[in-house]
Chains A and B, each alone.
Chain A
Amino acid sequence: MAAKMFRQCPDSGLFFHKSAESLMKAHAVLGVVYLLVGGFLGLLVALTRMPSLHLLSAEDFYLALSIHGTAILIFWIIFFEMAVLYFAASTLLRCRPATPAFGWLGFLLMVIGSTLVMVAFFRGNSSVMFTSYVPMPAEPIFYLGLILFAVGALIGCFIFLGTLVIAKQEKTYDGSVPLVTFGALTAAIIAIFTIASGAVILIPTWLWSLGFINHIDPLMYRTVWWALGHSSQQINVAAHVSIWYAIAAILFGARPMSEKVSRTAFLLYILFLQLASAHHILADPGVSSTWKVFNTSYAMYLAVLASMVHGLTVPGCIEVAQRKKGFNNGLFEWLKKAPWANPVFSGMFIAMIIFGFIGGITGVVMGTEQINLIIHNTIFVPGHFHATVAVGTTLTFMAITYFLIPVLFRRELIWPTACKWQPYIFGGGMLILSLFLLGAGTLGVPRRHWDINFSDALLQFQFAGTAITMLGIAGFGGFLAAVGGALFCLIAVGSLVFGKRLDPGASLFSSFGFPMASSCYNVERPGKLGLAPVEQTGDGGVQAKGTFVLALVFLASFVVYFFINAKYLSSIWPMG
């Protein structure tokens, strides 16, 4: 007699396997802990960069900046992504996870690794920021912690692949894997490359910190390190785009406009996204322009094309679904009548718009070798990536959490009004932070700089008054974003502890990674996931008129912004 290991969520119809579900919960909860730590330090960083407040001392500033970047960019996001991988393989394919015991081993390594890194930070001798460029030394446990964390994550990726194999063998689904699972596969593949590159550079650096190797070439370090640093951001892109498709399906019953087109776009990610790592090396001597231009232009534009495809098909499929429901007036009734008070939708849609319009456009512009010179290493760069990773990825993960708390954790959300406003507060604050960091950076304000007034420096330099004002406004936006972020953490943890139980088998422990009462798991083998109905072809593009208009606005903004920057470049660096 085989044990009954699955339960079906009565609200969503999704099947959860006992071990996979516990792994999802444990990873997601740990992720939120790091979001809280990292977000709080982000606030301190932002308030220090506000010239009127200048909160922290220089030493504390670099400590806070190091923890902010590492805890939030690496630990929060990757813990959460592991949960996404278990969800996309086990739940969506209705399949038992491969080797759950190894899943816990991976989790344990990630916990130990991230704890070691935190310990190294708080001991005070490892404020090397998340890039840890050599020859700046951190303590050996810092590198060791990163390596253990990466091994743990690698185990998670292989379990994901293993689960795909089992699902295929045990025929838990017909045809191809669902698009969301395919997107998660894209993320897992990029993650494997990312972690391999990390190993190539971090293991020698660890040995160097222990004194076994006496020299690591800084350019070599930067080049290989960015294969990790950049690609890890592309894991995020693949993961959050998959979640956009998932949310469109969950909330609107929307089907991808074309499976073929969306999957091909993910394939472009697999092939080309990681090559764009070279945009971090654009200002470095020692590698040729051919290498830079090949990797950042030809290759990167193919990946950008893929993002634009997703940016068109996600709202497009929502529009088609909404129009079918009768919201057919004018160009935008489908959007006006969308569930803006539901944080699952508002979070996802705000994330998508800010990711595309701000993160996407600034990213492509600064990935251009010549224009990059205007803003390289300025605070424009954090302006760009808070739009991509803090709004695009983080807000998407927040949005799906509002769905997962009832479905996966079987708890009702507390504070419905706060839930409704949270995505707007976080998204709005981040929008202000991002825009004004972009502005200040365009005026030359450097990133990672404690005191741009150079109060005790021998050589004085005065930034434009506008730049100082912009940093002040950015600080205000950062404060607002921190309020939104804190609210999210309170709602999430509060719901896990105090939220009404939607299932009598849910306990306090089951909110934090333990299984629910065994009586909840009463399905031995879920029914096979059938084929989706055959796509209706042809009219999708015509039906999504509103999305098409949005795409034209996007294109126009892009062209104008590119032109402005090229013009600006010609004026600060006159030729001929």
Chain B
Amino acid sequence: MQKNDNQESTQEEEAVPGMQQLLDNPFMLLFLGVMFPTVFYILWGIMEIISIPAVK
């Protein structure tokens, strides 16, 4: 966790890999973290529940 204060940043020039770009983007992560459960758990679940035929 703790980082070294006097270390010079040497990696600035290198291209940042795609995965790291994703991990460095909090709002993209937020989007994914809300989308996944909303689609697979909530929306899918609710669709199944409302498609149960009603008994009259």
The chain A residues found within 8 Å of chain B, CB to CB, are 13, 92, 161, 164, 173-180, 182, 185-186, 189-190, 192-193, 196-197, 200, 217, 219-220, 223-224, 227, 231, 245-246, 249-250, 253, 260, 263-264, 267, 270-272, 274-275, 277-278, 281, 286-288, 291, 294-295, 299, 527-533
Contacts and interface: CB of A to CB of B under 8 A. Distances in A.
A271 B1 CA distance: 24
Interface in B1-36: 1-11, 19-20, 22-24, 26-27, 29-30, 32-34, 36
Contacts of B30: 161, 189, 192
Nearest to B23: A263
A532 B40 contact: no
Contacts of A223: 42, 45-46, 49
Contacts of B5: 527-530
Contact of B37 (A175, A186, A274): A274
B4 to A, nearest CB: 5
30 contacts: A164-B26, A173-B3, A176-B24, A189-B26, A189-B33, A196-B34, A217-B49, A220-B49, A223-B49, A227-B37, A227-B42, A231-B37, A250-B1, A253-B2, A260-B19, A263-B23, A264-B19, A267-B22, A270-B33, A270-B36, A271-B32, A271-B36, A274-B33, A277-B37, A287-B48, A291-B45, A299-B40, A529-B5, A531-B9, A532-B2
Contacts of A281: 45
Interface residues of B, number: 35
A418 B19 CA distance: 46
A275 B11 contact: no
Interface of B: 1-11, 19-20, 22-24, 26-27, 29-30, 32-34, 36-38, 40-42, 44-46, 48-49, 52
A220 B52 CA distance: 11
A286 B49 contact: yes
A217 B49 CA distance: 10
A190 B5 CA distance: 31
A185 B23 CA distance: 10
A528 B8 CA distance: 11
Contact of A530 (B3, B29, B34): B3
Nearest to A196: B34
SS class of chain A's interface: helix, strand, loop or mixed? Answer: helix
Contacts of A245: 1
Contacts of A177: 24
A531 B36 contact: no
A291 B44 contact: yes
Contacts of B45: 223-224, 278, 281, 287, 291
Contacts of A528: 5
A267 to B, nearest CB: 7
A286 B52 contact: yes
Contact of A275 (B1, B6, B36): B36
A223 B49 CA distance: 9
A121 to B, nearest CB: 29
A217 B50 CA distance: 10
A188 B47 CA distance: 28
Contacts of A227: 37, 41-42
A117 B24 CA distance: 38
Contact of A531 (B11, B23, B48): B11
Contact of B3 (A196, A286, A531): A531
Contacts of B1: 92, 178-180, 245-246, 249-250
A255 B5 CA distance: 15
Contacts of B49: 217, 219-220, 223, 286-287
Given A176-B24, A267-B23, A275-B37, A189 B7 contact: no
Given A275-B36, A275-B40, A287-B45, 14 more contacts: A164-B26, A178-B2, A182-B23, A185-B29, A219-B49, A224-B45, A227-B37, A267-B29, A271-B36, A277-B41, A286-B48, A530-B4, A532-B3, A533-B7
Contacts of B37: 193, 227, 231, 274-275, 277
Nearest to A526: B5
* A92, A245, A246, A291: residue with the most chain B Cβ atoms closer than 10 Å: A291
Contacts of A264: 19, 23
A192 B34 contact: yes
B48 A291 contact: yes
A528 B30 CA distance: 26
Nearest to B38: A193
